[in-house]
Amino acid sequence: MAETFYLTTPIYYVNAEPHIGHAYTTIMSDIIVRHHRQRGEDVFFLTGTDEHSSSVVRLAAKAGRTPREHADLNAARFRELGGVVGATNDFFIRTSDAEHVAAVGRVMERLRESGDVYPGTYAGWYCSSCERFYAEGELDEGRLCPIHRTPVDWLEEENWFFRLSAYRDRLLAHYDANPDWVLPAARRNEARRMIEDGLEDLSISRAGVEWGVPVPWDATQTVYVWVDALFNYYTALEYARPGEDLVGRFWPPDLHVMGKDILKFHAVIWPALLMAAGLQLPRREMIHGFVLKGGEKMSKTTGNVVDPFPFIAEYGIDALRYYLAREIPFGEDGTFTAEGFEARYSQELGNELGNLLNRVVSMLGRYRGGVVPSDPGGDADVAGEVAAAVEATTAAYDRLEVSRAVEDGWRLVQRLNRLVEQRAPWSLAKDPARAGELDQTLFSLAEGLRAVALLLWPVIPGSSERILAALGQDPSATALEGAAWGAGRQGAQVRSEGPLFPRVEEKVA
Ligand SMILES: [Zn+2]
């Protein structure tokens, strides 16, 4: 049986405007799952929308719609974003799905059976955009939400609590036994410190809320939206494939991917909820940074948004995927600049990769009638570098160092460009006595490019498939084992596919 790999993105707030931050999370997740599919693993990739928030009710009322109508409209935009960025998710969960609502009810019963759910009074500062309470010390000056910089409300009510404080030692033991379960290390240490400093019990229900999951044993209460949302990672497996329960096959998740603003929910509260529910904890959580422009988090509420769509329309989605994956070390903040984007597009994608393919295809056309010579042997160093690149890339993905993985693949692109200059096929072609050398060079270039296409496929899937097609290979054969030297279709007929990354004259503002 194939190894399984289950990856999740956070579910996105349905009332948010899809922006580059969402695109970034989904793209990085998609790159990782595509790599695992290339390894022949049985992959499940989940994304979706978080819909039970009071802002949905508020904004729906303002627009004269029901919360359901409002959520339907906005969820569609996130579904569309996934399509635009090339996401290959296996399911799109919406927390308003009837199956999810029912499943959260069952999970709540499991939590209650743990003995760690009790009634109490909650009072505190609440940000309705974050859907969470803040302690006085966590607020910005002037009692502002530290994320949204908007005033918070004092809220007091009777509801159900989860005894999070009782999980301190178990959580610390889990952190110590699994040092890499939260990455990068700085985030792990941050989360561990929150636990060490002591945890307050968590209010897990709200009174007087109709748009949400009812607490099964108390009709006056609705499940706190974060608890409802977190369990999507579990409930989706129960109903994503009608008639098939995927829980046994994919639980626990191999990787949760998320931004650092929701660290506490995923690295402190979520594992405790799972322990209480008697469910296995996710194997790893990857906490990425923010995509910055001018040093501010890019989100609608704080302004300063880069809209990814004009870049996609102008340059194609592969260019954006490549730029984000290569530019921003996964786990760190990064800055998106139009200049940097255009430079990588024209210099790296256009000149280094696009032109290389173009030269190789046209030299094969000119000197060998468009047919890749059969393996003449002898280029052991190039073959060795391909094997090393495959190994390095795979290892980098295992460490979740995506930008390193791209660089490892890219070194091969640069190596092949040097090979063209060193061997100068146009000179070899003038000397019939050197026909064997020319065959060897052209074979190595075609074979090297084929490996490049496979190595970069998770990042630039459409372009990689075009490279394979141009080389006369099957564009749908993207398994990584195909990168083995000489594993391609023999005697392939190449064809010009036109420029991979055409010059773009206009600048995107
Ligand atoms: Zn907030």
pLDDT for the residue numbered 232: 98
Contacts of 1 (CB under 8 A, 6+ apart): 42
Tokens of 250: 């994919």
Is pLDDT of 300 > 50?
Answer: no
pLDDT band at 294 (very low <50, low <70, confident <90, very high): low
Question: What average pLDDT does this structure show over 55-81?
Answer: 92
CA 401–ligand 1 middle distance (angstroms):
30
pLDDT tens digits along 374-395 = 988 889 999 999 999 999 999 9
Q: How far is CA 324 from the centre of its chain?
A: 11
Return the higher-pLDDT residue of 95 and 291: 95
pLDDT for the residue numbered 298: 52
pTM for the complete prediction? 0.93
Q: Which of 203-207, 227-231, 235-239, 473-477 has the lowest mean pLDDT?
A: 203-207
pLDDT tens digits along 340-363 = 999 999 999 999 999 999 999 999
pLDDT tens digits along 475-508 = 999 999 999 999 999 999 999 988 999 988 654 5
pLDDT for the residue numbered 462: 98
Is pLDDT of 214 > 90?
Answer: yes
Is pLDDT of 415 > 90?
Answer: yes
Average pLDDT, the chain: 93
pLDDT band at 509 (very low <50, low <70, confident <90, very high): very low
Angstrom distance (rounded) from CA 389 to CA 449: 12
CA 259–ligand 1 middle distance (angstroms):
15
pLDDT for the residue numbered 155: 86
Q: What sign results for the dihedral spanned by CA atoms 10, 11, 14, 20? A: positive
pLDDT for the residue numbered 295: 46
pLDDT tens digits along 145-185 = 988 899 999 988 899 999 999 999 999 999 999 999 999 99
pLDDT band at 133 (very low <50, low <70, confident <90, very high): confident
pLDDT tens digits along 321-335 = 999 999 999 999 998
Place of tokens 């024209």: 346
Asked if residue 129 lies in contact with residue 145, where contact means CB atoms within 8 angstroms, the answer is: yes
pLDDT band at 297 (very low <50, low <70, confident <90, very high): low
pLDDT for the residue numbered 57: 87
Is pLDDT of 303 > 90?
Answer: no
pLDDT for the residue numbered 304: 55
pLDDT for the residue numbered 18: 87
Contacts of 36 (CB under 8 A, 6+ apart): 5, 7, 43, 397
CA 196–ligand 1 middle distance (angstroms):
24
Return the higher-pLDDT residue of 436 and 128: 436
Angstrom distance (rounded) from CA 252 to CA 246: 11
Is pLDDT of 254 > 80?
Answer: yes
CA 99–ligand 1 middle distance (angstroms):
29
Backbone angles phi, psi at 288, to 5 degrees: -95, 170
Angstrom distance (rounded) from CA 174 to CA 274: 12
pLDDT for the residue numbered 181: 97
Strand pairing class (4-13; 255-259): parallel
End-to-end CA distance of the chain: 50
For residues 404-414, one letter each, b for 16 or more C-beta atoms within 10 angstroms of the residue's C-beta and e for the rest, the string is bbbebbbbbbe
pLDDT for the residue numbered 429: 97
Angstrom distance (rounded) from CA 268 to CA 160: 19
Tokens of 313: 């329309």
pLDDT for the residue numbered 301: 46
Number of Cα atoms under 13 Å in the Cβ half of residue 152: 28
pLDDT for the residue numbered 508: 53
Q: Which residues are tagged catalytic?
A: 19, 22, 127, 130, 145, 148, 297, 300
Angstrom distance (rounded) from CA 252 to CA 394: 22
CA 151–ligand 1 middle distance (angstroms):
9
CA 418–ligand 1 middle distance (angstroms):
52
CA 263–ligand 1 middle distance (angstroms):
14
For residues 69-106, one letter each, b for 16 or more C-beta atoms within 10 angstroms of the residue's C-beta and e for the rest, the string is ebbeebbeebbebbebbbbebbebbbbbbeebbebbee
pLDDT tens digits along 14-44 = 988 888 899 999 999 999 999 999 999 999 9
